[in-house]
Structure 1
Amino acid sequence: MTRQLLVLYPEPADRAAFEQHYRDVHLPLCAQLPGVRDISFAIAIDRSPYFAVFSAAFDDAEALQAALDSPEGRAVAADVPRYATGGATVIDFPVETLDDE
């Protein structure tokens, strides 16, 4: 079953610095995660308790865990404190679709 990684970012101390680092450094690191099938994100979300959101899809829980445990995954995790001054909430979950019912 497809596994989704979701990261929710509260308001950072400096919006411009967050966005610059996120686009120029963090997203390119995420794109190198082994086994990542799809990445989507949004920054400066209107009418939300979160400033930004990130989502990545993997084939299954094992592929997600392998990506997180890889050198690329460790680089992604180590980069988060460099821009996410408001912290980050990370959630992973199996994806169900209407077709699955």
Structure 2
Amino acid sequence: MYKLLVLYPEPADRAGFIQYYESTHLPLARKLPGLRSWRYTTEVAPQADGSAAPYFALFEAEFDDVDAFRAAMSSPEGRAVGADVPNYATGGAVVLDYSASEGEVS
């Protein structure tokens, strides 16, 4: 499994971020070829000491492997997703991608 994780710092306008993200950006992201699953939240919990979390929202997507991820991001749909980020993420975005291993709890 290969994952994409996008972390969003606090935006200038929370309500505007959420409205645009849910109505415009997520529909673009859903069209990524090879996308296996995705999830997001705009309700990141405060840190254990009660201080604000360093990120306001996050998005996680899963692909079969790194080749599927790279193909998705270099596709017209992937380029559209990347080009759309400045339209709503006034705080910027931290983008990470990585190979994920499964583990068991014993």
Query: Taking structure 2 as the reference length, what is the TM-score of the superposition?
Result: 0.90
What are the residue-to-residue correspondences of 1:1-101 with 2, within 5 Å? 2-47=1-46, 48-98=53-103
Identical residues among aligned pairs (%): 55
User: In 2, distance between residues paired with 1:5 and 1:45?
Assistant: 17
Question: CA RMSD of the aligned region, Å?
Answer: 0.8
Stretches of structure 2 that go unaligned for 5 or more consecutive residues are 47-52
SS in 2 for 1:11: coil
Which has the larger displacement, 31-40 or 41-50? 41-50
Query: Taking structure 1 as the reference length, what is the TM-score of the superposition?
Result: 0.94
Stretches of structure 1 that go unaligned for 5 or more consecutive residues are none
CA deviations over 1:26-80 (Å, ceiling 9, x no partner): 0000000000000000103221210000000000000000000000000000100
Q: Which structure has the highest helix share of the two?
A: 1
The letter for the 2-side match of 1:43 is T
User: In 2, distance between residues paired with 1:18 and 1:89?
Assistant: 16
SS in 1 for 2:34: coil
Aligned length, in residue pairs = 98
Q: Which protein has the larger Cα radius of gyration, Structure 1 or Structure 2? A: 2
The letter for the 2-side match of 1:68 is M
User: Any runs of at least 4 consecutive aligned residues in structure 1 with deviations exceeding 3 A, and if so which?
Assistant: none
SS in 1 for 2:4: strand
Which has the larger displacement, 6-15 or 44-53? 44-53
